[in-house]
Amino acid sequence: MNNNINKISIPLAVTLLMFPQIIETMYSPALTSIKTHFGVTGSTAAQGMSVFFIAFAIGVVFWGRMCDIIGRRYATLIGLILFISSAIITLFASTFTLLLIGFGCCAFGAAVGSVCTQTILRDCYQGAELGRVFSIIGTSIGISPIIGMITGSWLTVNGGYKWVFIGMIILTSGLLCWSLLQLPETKPTQTQQDSLLSVGTKMLKDLHIWYIMLMVAIFNIALFSYYSLAPFMFEKLYVSIKLFGYTSAVLALGSILGAMLNMRLLRRHVIAQTIITAASIILLISSVSVYLLQTSIWFFLPMIFISLSFGLALPNLLSTALNNYRDHLGTAGALLGLFYYLIIGAGLHKAAIVGDLGITLIVCAILAITLTLFHYINKTVSIRPAR
């Protein structure tokens, strides 16, 4: 832990980290309204989710680099201002293409909530303490799908997608005011100014980084494929979009339980990799259950365990990701985010084309277990003494 900097308040850190997920889940219920308003197909409307993550990935690398150049506080404030401006423009988009461009700009600005806040937390905490902080935050931000989906559903039902963007503008304006008043600057006075290329080259040669970015992407694709595909599944079953919003409570419960279980396991000194392996197995079992139930309204129930596996795996993956990159946390965090958000965007794009939630989840689970196995074998070989 760095004792020479002002620490961010946990409530503000939680809210900033919740911010991108709230925005994304607010948009999800509006997909049916967008489809109707612009006269596009469901799969075309769902592409907005992949655009969000791809633009978010670009934003992560840009704002992460800005964290090391202009500081964590200024990067965050500018990103929030950019989001508000982009959301206002998107509100008046006359075509679906312009809406996608505007929403992509929103995602670019929203990336500060992830990369800048994680950089600030890594400035303040290290090691097991950082893992516990991520778990505490994970428990708190588990409610973000409830806030986003219920709010987005209510706004969509009462005013269509335009009300959703108005809600985003109001929410972000409040967060900007809070950040102006309380967000500290935690950038160390002495940091290495390595180039983006040199840090990126180092990371791409690091097998541990590849494992982290692929696993983070897989668990995110598994969770967020529900948000991009489920609205149309509910529509096909002739169920109100309001119920889709209420299912957010199921996913939130799973995420909260996963984060709480993770904290308990860490207190008992269970190895992080053991927890990640268990999360991968839970993901596989839950994915098969979703596949078997997806022709009925109850397909959303096994998603609680998909969300639980997410809450178990993510804190352990993210807290150990950049242990060897502390001299350039902003840049390394930006590149890590770029790598896994690009994979998430591509994965969600493919999921939208396939249009089958169960198949998407099963593929994610098989990949997670395969990667975990390869990681274990590689680690075993690397620590085996030479003869």
With beta carbons less than 8 A apart as the criterion, state whether 19 and 175 touch. yes
Q: Render 217-245 in DSSP notation, one character per residue.
A: HHHHHHHHHHHHHHHHHHHHTT--HHHHH
What CATH number has the domain bearing residue 29?
1.20.1250.20
**CA 151 to CA 167: how far, in whole Å?**
8
| Helix orientation angle between 357-383 and 329-354, rounded to the nearest 10 degrees | 140
Instruction: Say if 3 falls within a structural domain.
Output: no
Does residue 53 lie in a domain region?
Answer: yes
**Cα-based distances in Å from 167 to 92, 215, 294:** 14, 32, 31
In a domain, 4, yes or no: no
Give the pLDDT of residue 295.
Answer: 85
Give average pLDDT by consecutive 10-residue segment, the chain, 387 residues. 66 90 87 86 77 86 86 93 95 91 94 88 72 70 78 89 94 95 81 71 88 93 85 80 74 82 85 91 95 88 91 83 72 82 85 88 96 83 53
The answer to whether residue 321 is domain-embedded is: yes
Domain that holds residue 286: 10-184+195-381
What pTM value is reported for the model? 0.71
Q: Could you tell me the sign of the dihedral formed by the alpha carbons of 264, 268, 269, 270, in that order?
A: negative
Strand, coil or helix: 355: coil
In a domain, 133, yes or no: yes
* Residue 65, C-beta contacts closer than 8 angstroms, at least 6 positions apart: 196, 330, 331, 334
1 domain-assigned: no
CB 167 within 8 A of CB 173: no
Cα 120 to Cα 187: distance, rounded to the nearest angstrom: 8
Instruction: Domain count for the chain, please give it.
Output: 1
* DSSP symbols for 306-347: HHHHHHHHHHHHHHTTTTT-GGGHHHHHHHHHHHHHHHHHHH
**Which amino acid, residue 330?**
G
- Quick check: is 5 in a domain? no
Q: Which two tokens stand for residue 308?
A: 């639980």
The reply to whether 387 falls in a domain is no
Nearest-10 Cα torsion for 23, 54, 216, 138: -20
For residue 332, report the phi and psi dihedrals to the nearest 5 degrees.
Answer: -65, -40
